[in-house]
Structure 1
C-alpha cells in the first residue's frame, strides 16, 4: 500500500480549481404537510417541468416548490374566476355528466 511521506507535495488542495458557491436560495419553513399520490405519468411530467425550469429558465427548484406554486396559481384563479376557473371546469369535466 502506498503512503505518501509527511510533507510530500504530490497533492496541493489549495491548487485545485474551485467553483464559486451558488448563491443561497431563500428557504421557507412549512408548518403543515400533506401526502398526495400521483400516477407515474404525472410524476414524470412534474420532473420534466422541474428540469425545464432549470434548463430553459435558470430556475433550480425542487418538485415541492413547483407543486406549491401550481397550487397557489390554481387557487388564485378559482378566487378570481369562480365558476369559470380552470379548476372548476376541469373538475366538472372529470366528474362526467
Structure 2
C-alpha cells in the first residue's frame, strides 16, 4: 500500500511572514528626506538584509545579468564584500533615487532616460 503524503493547507501557505505590527509601512517622518535644514544631502539608505514583504520582477538581458554577477564577484574578491544580487540591486536603486532627489533634471537618471 502506498503512503499518503500530507500537504500543507492553504492557511499554512498563505500566512503572514511577520507579526502585524511589523508589516505596516513606515510613517512619512521615518522616510529619508533628500535634504536637511542646512541644505546638506542625507544619504538614501537601502533596506539591506531584512525580510522583504514586497516583490518586484525585473527582466534583464543575459549581458546585464552577467555584468551584475561580475560586479558581485569583484566586490567579493577585491573588497571582501559578500553581497547577493538583490542587495546589489537595492543599493544601486538607492543611489540612483538619491541622485534624482538631489539633482532632479540634472540627475544621471534623467540624462540616461532622455538619451533613448
- TM beyond 0.5: yes
The answer to whether structure 1 residue 46 and structure 2 residue 73 are counterparts is no
The answer to whether structure 1 residue 62 and structure 2 residue 88 are counterparts is no
Task: Report if aligned partners of 2:49, 2:87 keep a CA contact under 8 Å in 1.
Answer: no
Task: Report the alpha carbon displacement of residue 27 of structure 1 after superposing the two structures with TM.
Answer: 3.0
Structure ranking higher on relative contact order (CA contacts 8 Å, 6+ apart): 2
Q: Where in structure 1 are there 5+ consecutive unaligned residues?
A: 1-25
Structure 1 counterpart of 2:111 = 89
* TM-score normalised per structure 2: 0.58
Structure 1 counterpart of 2:50 = 28
Q: Please give the alpha-carbon distance, in whole angstroms, between the structure 2 residues aligned to 1:70 and 1:58.
A: 18
Greater fraction of residues in helix: 1
Runs of 4+ in 1 over 6 A off after TM superposition: none
Aligned residues: 69
Structure 2 counterpart of 1:7 = none
Task: Report the alpha carbon displacement of residue 81 of structure 1 after superposing the two structures with TM.
Answer: 0.3
Q: Please give the alpha-carbon distance, in whole angstroms, between the structure 2 residues aligned to 1:27 and 1:71.
A: 15
* TM-score normalised per structure 1: 0.69
Q: Where in structure 2 are there 5+ consecutive unaligned residues?
A: 1-47
Q: Please give the alpha-carbon distance, in whole angstroms, between the structure 1 residues aligned to 2:81 and 2:55.
A: 24
Task: Report the alpha carbon displacement of residue 28 of structure 1 after superposing the two structures with TM.
Answer: 0.7
